[in-house]
Amino acid sequence: MEKRKLGKTGLEVSAFGLGCMGLSFGYGPATAKKEAIELIHRAIQLGITFFDTAEVYGPYTNEELLGEALEPYRKDVIIATKFGFKDAQTNLGLDSRPKTIRAVAEASLKRLRTDHIDLFYQHRVDPNVPMEDVAGTVKDLISEGKVKHFGLSEAGVESIRKAHAEQPIAALQSEYSLWWREPEKEILPVLEELGIGFVPFSPLGKGFLTGKIDETTSFDKTDFRNTVPRFSEENRKANLELVDLLASIATSLEATPAQVALAWLLAQKPWIVPIPGTTKILRLDENMGAASIKLSENQLTEIESAISIIEVQGSRYGEQSQKMVSR
């Protein structure tokens, strides 16, 4: 798989990463450890070198899973994890105080069975802690060799500029896909200006762009999509128009809707590295097949023209989660 550089800090990763959250958290019951490790090892076989986790995924269990699965391959992979929630519980609110950042780093290092974190993201901007203090703390961790690169997640332009001035940011991780294009307005231009990489999470619209979900789909009671307005039965039915469009384009390319959605993201900028997640090796293989799909200018124009007249229904977060993004 081709490599891409995130930012100007020397961080080079595979063109796709693996978002590991769903193996432990968020999309229903956790995957059995043996199966999860097999999937992570399959990702390595496919050329993936970039793995994304966070202490809140579980909490803690996802980092422990990656620590065990990646330990034999540690020198060949890049591990990203995150800090920023109180006691690793999203429902307890934000906490990016310097002492918390340090405590999370030390605990994550142990769970990940490593002596350094390759990419350490602030999971959400904490309005109660100056960004200069957050970036300064990570800067100190970098000087101590415990962290290699600094990142932000779901941050707004002002926060990005403040943080980058204190400690160069390697990557911003935020949602971006054919059904959430908000970053194109302000975020992508500032990332290009400052030389910061972009890591889109949910590049398949939390599974919707795969074409495997419709208005009749039933989610597990622990699946967070039950709380997402965009996934209400009514909105899912309306949003199938977008999936139908992807399917028609995919047919002409002898590809799948998921592969077209991922190939489209790769085509946007050379410093974009999507991190699709899955719990199934079959889907992992399908997703990584997108790396070999090169959309032509005509195909990209066709997608753009068709997508521009489709209005996706429903907000991407519930009210509480929405308060924590784009600060």
Alpha carbon distance 123, 2 (integer Å): 27
Question: What phi, psi does 152 have (nearest 5°)?
Answer: -125, 160
**Active-site residue, 57 included:** yes
Report whether the peptide linkage leading into residue 29 is cis, meaning its omega lies within 30 degrees of zero.
no
Bridge partners of 149? Answer: 119
The two three-digit tokens of residue 295, written as one number: 């959309």
Alpha-carbon torsion, ordered 53, 57, 60, 64, to 10 deg: -50
Query: Which of the following is catalytic: 27, 57, 121, 176?
Result: 57
Write out the two tokens for 269. Answer: 């900028």
Q: How many helical (H) and strand (E) elements, i.e. helices and strands, does the chain have? A: 11, 9
To which residue do tokens 């999309």 refer?
27
CA distance 12 to 271: 10
C-alpha 154/C-alpha 168 separation (Å) is: 17
Tell me the C-alpha distance between 282 and 272, whole Å: 24
Active-site residues: which are they? 57
